[in-house]
Amino acid sequence: MLMPLFNNLFNIWKFIFPHLAFLLGAISFNQFILIATFAFSAVTLTFNIYLIIAQLFCLSIGQTRVEYLQNINIYNLGIWKNLFEILGENWPFIFISPFIKSPLRSDGHSFTTREMQEIRPKYF
């Protein structure tokens, strides 16, 4: 019962050090290519997931990464208003096609801040 488990644990080194395993003849060239491709894909996927989570977090609090690091949060209007400010009026539909028009509320140079929202009437 322990022998197959030990064999599997012992063979993990081939996945951790595929270059060494290839040079020692423990795996073939095709296996080396497959392991290297899998490792590259896993690292790329992990990095992309981190970037997506970081961007969604910053989008939800209305900050860029630099503003987050400097604790500047005057653009945080709440998650729904942040979505409208960043992605435009038709933001749910832009995920269907990038060709759907979604006009922004601002001109791209000046944006609504929390103070401006408190001063302006609701239907101004």
Give 44-88 pLDDT, tens digit per residue. Answer: 999 999 999 999 998 888 888 888 888 888 888 888 888 888 888
Residues 15 and 68 in one domain: no
Residue 27, number of CB atoms within 10 A of its CB: 19
Residues 54 and 70 in one domain: no
Domain, as residue range, for 15: 1-61
Q: Phi and psi for 104 in degrees, rounded to 5?
A: -85, 155
* pLDDT at residue 119 in the model: 57
Task: Give one DSSP letter per residue of 4-36, joined into a string.
Answer: HHHHHHHTTHHHH-HHHHHHTTSS-HHHHHHHH
In the numeric block, the tokens 């801040």 are attached to 113
Q: How many domains are contained in the chain?
A: 2
* pLDDT at residue 48 in the model: 98
Residues 55 and 101 in one domain: no
Residues 50 and 85 in one domain: no
H or E element that contains 61: helix 29-61
Cβ atoms 93, 102 nearer than 8 A: yes
Burial class (CB within 10 angstroms; exposed 0-12, middle 13-18, buried 19+) of 12: exposed
Give 10-36 pLDDT, tens digit per residue. Answer: 788 888 888 899 999 988 999 999 989
Cβ atoms 67, 73 nearer than 8 A: yes
Residues 43 and 2 in one domain: yes
Residues 38 and 23 in one domain: yes
- Over range 94-122, report the average pLDDT: 75
* pLDDT at residue 59 in the model: 87
Q: How confident is the model at residue 1 (pLDDT cuts 50, 70, 90)?
A: very low
Residue 109 has pLDDT above 90, yes or no: no
- Over range 109-114, report the average pLDDT: 76
Q: How confident is the model at residue 120 (pLDDT cuts 50, 70, 90)?
A: low
